[in-house]
Structure 1
Amino acid sequence: MVSGRSTTRRAERRRFGAAVLALLACTALPVSAADCGKPVYLTFDTGHMEVAPLVAEVLARQQVKVTFFAANERTKVGDGSLGDQWAPWWKARAAEGHAFASHTWDHVYWRADMPGEPARFRVRPSAGPEEGRDEVWTAAQYCDEIARSATRLRAITGQEPLPLFRAPGGKTSPKLLAAARSCGWAHVGWSPAGFLGDELSSESVSNAELLARALRNVRSGDILLAHLGIWSRKDPWAPAVLEPLIVGLKERGFCFRTLREHPQYAGWIAGEGTKTR
């Protein structure tokens, strides 16, 4: 016997699929740069990378440019998200005009500021040889960690990464941000409505709910956050939600830009970050 809950779940997925098809059937043409009065800034952090080829297909089809924040994370296939197997994927994205920035190398979480001076931080990598171990780093060590990812991106893509970084989990402190900025790296978080929810449990919130929430709440100027694969979500957000979200936002008059054009970071990217490093 099929349970009522299973029947409801299947019906919900059918409705979601129908909504996706309806959105794709009336895809709006890309908004030209001259007409862009409502920019949003879609960003992707690395993840297990299984969905990365599908994400790239959607972005190319919709003619949308994004900013990728990359760390060398564990992947389902290959030797890490910035390893040799994934290098051609990154190179292809550079050729398409996307932007790149650091997510630290070993996806290192800030845990706490240590007392006293000079600045030191308790951190915990979630990838690499020290995965899961707490360590105490100096500001210089943290700066080197940011730079390591940027150096690898430069070598793979032939493109200069932006002088920006995103701390894993968005976890920072004023002291950490000041230390990073002193060595040329400005931090980028995301807008409240820009948390697209792909890290949430699919048992607690469906793709249909996440799509509806984003289309309802995203506003002009928002920085949006998604990932190239989340291990814990059973019903993957990408690419299922990605294309209808892009289409729906275009229909509402939004256009997509990389962080090169974000008013908060454009000046830093143009000179200040490069001068500091």
Structure 2
Amino acid sequence: MPSLRSKTTKPLPGFRAVATLSAALALALPLTGCTTLHTTAPSAARAGAGDGTAPAGFGAVDCRKAKCIALTFDAGPSEHSARLLDILAQKKVPATFFLLGKRHMEKYPDLVRRMEAEGHEVASHTWDHRILTRIPPEEIREELRRPNEEIERLIGRRPTLMRPPQGRTDDTVHRIAREEGLAEVLWSVTAKDYATNDSALIRRRVLQQSSRDGIILLHDLYPGTVPAVPGIIDALKERGYVFVTVPQLLAPGRARPGTVYRP
């Protein structure tokens, strides 16, 4: 049974040590207590759609032909997000932002609007980063519904994607996500940037793990991450990668609510 790397999202004093311990524990534990995690790869989503047209935006990339990779950021917006958006605009690279509600979208609503306006995909990382597999169904629903409502209020549409905190999910989460119109998106590349401010190390870890159809997980709230992004983009472009949002990675397939996507 697969397990995913843990992460934390709140830049509080002493929180980085907790994140490191949490990551170690997550690597040692199964993803869920009794659920076998079934995931769909981007290539399978594309193949299952048959013939179709790639979505517009950032060059209308067709990942059936191009060597695509998706850059994703969790747990924003933050004080570093404006600089990140500047870099992405300069490099002409789209990203997918899995945003937190409490203390994040609440604090930086203009950055959420800017992400949408500049062609990025705005998605949910829950309201308060609670571990969904540890709370009752009615609280799972609240964690998913509140950011949906806030995103819709800010940009005029509800998200179709969400990333469960720490990648922890199970059948109950799948069911509620489906009812709320959300697909779950995991990842294949992590720099563990919650545990280091070393931008060179973050860059090196991403480049070592990247492959076609990869989904890169980073956090723009940590100070070492955003400075690593230009080097990551430049190096992967040199290797022939094309950056896309998660919906572009799946196209002409579409994310199906209740489905878990992972390369």
Name the TM-score, length of structure 1 as normaliser: 0.65
Aligned amino acid, residue 207 of structure 1: S
Of 214, 232, 240, the match for 1:253: 240
SS in 2 for 1:108: coil
SS in 2 for 1:41: strand
Does the CA-based 8 Å contact 2:124-2:161 persist in structure 1? yes
Larger radius of gyration: 1
Gaps of 5+ in 2: 1-57, 259-263
Q: Are 1:168 and 2:196 matched, yes or no?
A: no
Q: Aligned equivalents of 1:97 and 1:144: distance in 2? A: 28
Does the CA-based 8 Å contact 1:67-1:100 persist in structure 2? yes
Q: Aligned equivalents of 1:87 and 1:267: distance in 2? A: 27
Of 214, 219, 225, the match for 2:211: 219
SS in 2 for 1:268: coil
RMSD: 2.5
- Taking a change above 3 Å as real, the CA distance of residues 224 and 161 of structure 1, as seen in their structure-2 partners, is farther
Distance apart, 1:31 and its partner CA: 8.0
Aligned amino acid, residue 82 of structure 1: M
SS in 2 for 1:226: strand
Q: Are 1:67 and 2:89 matched, yes or no?
A: no
Per the alignment, residue 109 of structure 2 pairs with 87
- Taking a change above 3 Å as real, the CA distance of residues 47 and 97 of structure 1, as seen in their structure-2 partners, is closer
Aligned amino acid, residue 85 of structure 2: A
SS in 2 for 1:104: coil
Does the CA-based 8 Å contact 1:66-1:257 persist in structure 2? yes
**Deviations, residues 118-170 of structure 1 (Å, cap 9, x unaligned):** xxxx33xxxxxxxxxxxxx22x4422321210111111122x24322111111
Q: Aligned equivalents of 1:92 and 1:180: distance in 2? A: 26
Q: Aligned equivalents of 1:240 and 1:268: distance in 2? A: 31
Does the CA-based 8 Å contact 2:101-2:150 persist in structure 1? no
Aligned amino acid, residue 194 of structure 2: E
Aligned amino acid, residue 254 of structure 1: Y
Q: Aligned equivalents of 1:198 and 1:37: distance in 2? A: 28
Of 128, 142, 145, the match for 1:144: 142
Distance apart, 1:198 and its partner CA: 1.1
Q: Greater relative contact order: 1 or 2 (C-alpha under 8 angstroms, separation 6 or more)?
A: 2
Q: Aligned equivalents of 2:211 and 2:175: distance in 1? A: 29
Distance apart, 1:264 and its partner CA: 8.0
Per the alignment, residue 54 of structure 1 pairs with 83
Of 45, 52, 55, the match for 2:74: 45
Of 243, 255, 261, the match for 1:268: 255
Distance apart, 1:99 and its partner CA: 0.8
Does the CA-based 8 Å contact 1:42-1:258 persist in structure 2? yes
Per the alignment, residue 181 of structure 1 pairs with 178
Distance apart, 1:256 and its partner CA: 0.8
Does the CA-based 8 Å contact 1:51-1:238 persist in structure 2? no
Aligned amino acid, residue 40 of structure 1: I
Q: Aligned equivalents of 1:179 and 1:82: distance in 2? A: 22
Does the CA-based 8 Å contact 2:98-2:163 persist in structure 1? yes
Aligned amino acid, residue 105 of structure 2: L
Q: Are 1:200 and 2:195 matched, yes or no?
A: yes
Does the CA-based 8 Å contact 1:259-1:266 persist in structure 2? no
**Deviations, residues 188-231 of structure 1 (Å, cap 9, x unaligned):** 1111xx112211234xxx3222212322320010111111213x
Q: Aligned equivalents of 1:265 and 1:184: distance in 2? A: 19
**Deviations, residues 92-118 of structure 1 (Å, cap 9, x unaligned):** 1211111111111122213x4xxxxxx
Of 221, 231, 238, the match for 2:225: 238
Per the alignment, residue 134 of structure 1 pairs with none
Does the CA-based 8 Å contact 1:259-1:265 persist in structure 2? no
Aligned identity (percent) is 28
**Deviations, residues 247-271 of structure 1 (Å, cap 9, x unaligned):** 11111100111111232894235xx
Distance apart, 1:172 and its partner CA: 1.7
Number of residue pairs the alignment of both structures matches: 200
